[in-house]
Amino acid sequence: MKKENKNPNAKKTQKSSVKPYTKWKPRLPEGGDYNGAQFGILSKLHGTWVNWKDGPKGLHTTPMPSPGTSSETVFGVFHFKSQEYREQLKFTQVNAPVRNRGGSNEQFNAAVKYETAIIDNDNLLQHFEDGMYLWLGDNIMPWSADSPTQNPPNLFKHSSDEESVKEDGGEPVIGPGELGPQFIPPYTISRSGVIPHGTTIHITGNASEPVEGQAPPIAELWDPQYLAVSKTMGIKPEKDLIKDCRDKPAWTKLPREDQNPEGGPRESGLNSARAYFLKVFNYDKFGAKFPYTVQPNLKLIDANKDLKFKKYQLISLDSFHETGVQGGMINNVMIDRYCKVTRVRFRMWLEEVYDDDFGGLIEQLQYEQIVDFEFMFGSNGGTTQWPHIQVNTLRRLKDIPDNKRLAGILIPSESDEKVPGSPAPIVCPMGHSKY
């Protein structure tokens, strides 16, 4: 006897949540039912962000190969430098969506260019960089026409039709009206950057939902993943730092040869891990000293100490992901050989804070960037990882009162050649034809 199936949904076909996007139609950024580039959270970046008088400063920690060393040098010989700095970070929103054709899908990237210039306390140029952030599309399915990050849309379906089949020689492989799977971007944001030392980076990730009424939880004290001393250098935070306390440990007052933490002879004296990174703890130059040389993001935490927050959002980008499509770094020959950049992690908080000195509610931008260098051998024969960290707290230039503004930063460069009698420039929107 055939057993009766009592499940009422057994014969029903389950609907997929990955439904097709809205249909793409030929259109330009202006006019029609397409309202131009969709920037998502990146729309909050446009403008110039700077430090201000009596405000928090940025700080970097930078390890470098010591003069005269090579990859065969016994580990532990390295030069360490840390500095306070101020910055001019400019974002320019490009209001012309860039079309990517994927067959069954169309993606319209929105681009935000960035340029940064960084100077130290002596007004000497320390770093400059430019690049681009791209909004790749909301990676939530099913898409919703009333979503603030999907309307106007930047992802569309594009079925074949009689004209495309005929023009592209589709038959007998494909006929009119066919549509393949819908692409869901794993990340909503990418950043590409060109660093003049000789590295090009590409990092990807997503943004959090807005969090109301509290400061961002940037990091716990002595969280190993945010320290300027890596595990490959032998640090043991539970032994080498004072739990829940920013005081400098007593062992940092001893010279290298007298370092003797728990363990055998290999962990003692000049060859001990503490001797390895002692200079990071005792560094005191250019406005940079403990505890910030060990955990730079404490600068961000301290900058928020007396502020009242309305809300914040976090953008998290990384060149490494556990699965799927990776980001990457390309290093020129010298950087690859002597101080290879292997990973970039980046967190940026877009915040709304109350500050009476600035007239009340104001926008604030904070970031932390951790760039992993690798050079010379570790104690176990492996490569040592050296975190290069940058942190800063910035506000929009236009929102800073006149009496708190600092002089702008101008990078020495050749001026544009002016050609007399040239026609005035014109605005040229993207021309997105049917195909």
Please report, for the chain, how many H helices and E strands are present, in that order.
5, 16
Give which of 179, 181, 89, 91 is closest to 135, Cα–Cα. Answer: 91
Domain membership flag for residue 163:
yes
Domain membership flag for residue 149:
yes
Confidence of residue 432 (pLDDT cuts 50, 70, 90): confident
Predicted pLDDT at 203: 98
> For 40-76, how does the pLDDT look when each residue is reduced to its tens digit (9 = 90+)?
899 999 999 999 999 999 999 999 999 988 877 766 6
The whole-number average pLDDT for the span 1-18 is 59
Domain membership flag for residue 96:
yes
Domain membership flag for residue 87:
yes
Tokens 């915040």 belong to residue: 351
Domain membership flag for residue 248:
no
Lowest mean pLDDT across 225-234, 262-271, 292-301: 262-271
Domain membership flag for residue 334:
yes
Q: What's the domain count of the chain?
A: 1
Query: Is a pLDDT exceeding 80 seen at residue 375?
Result: yes
> For 387-400, how does the pLDDT look when each residue is reduced to its tens digit (9 = 90+)?
999 999 999 999 99
Lowest mean pLDDT across 106-110, 199-203, 242-246, 378-382: 378-382
| CATH number for position 142 | 2.40.128.20
Q: Maximum distance among all alpha carbons in the chain? A: 95
Lowest mean pLDDT across 186-190, 359-363, 406-410, 424-428: 424-428
Lowest mean pLDDT across 129-138, 340-349, 381-390: 381-390
Q: What is the enclosing helix (H) or strand (E) of 282?
A: helix 273-282
Domain membership flag for residue 428:
no
Predicted pLDDT at 35: 47
Domain membership flag for residue 260:
no
Structural domain of 112: 40-219+295-404
Distant-in-sequence, close-in-space partners of 49: CB < 8 Å, separation ≥ 6: 87, 88, 89, 90, 91, 365, 394, 395, 396, 397
Q: Decide the pairing of beta strands 340-355 and 288-289.
A: unpaired
The whole-number average pLDDT for the span 103-130 is 95
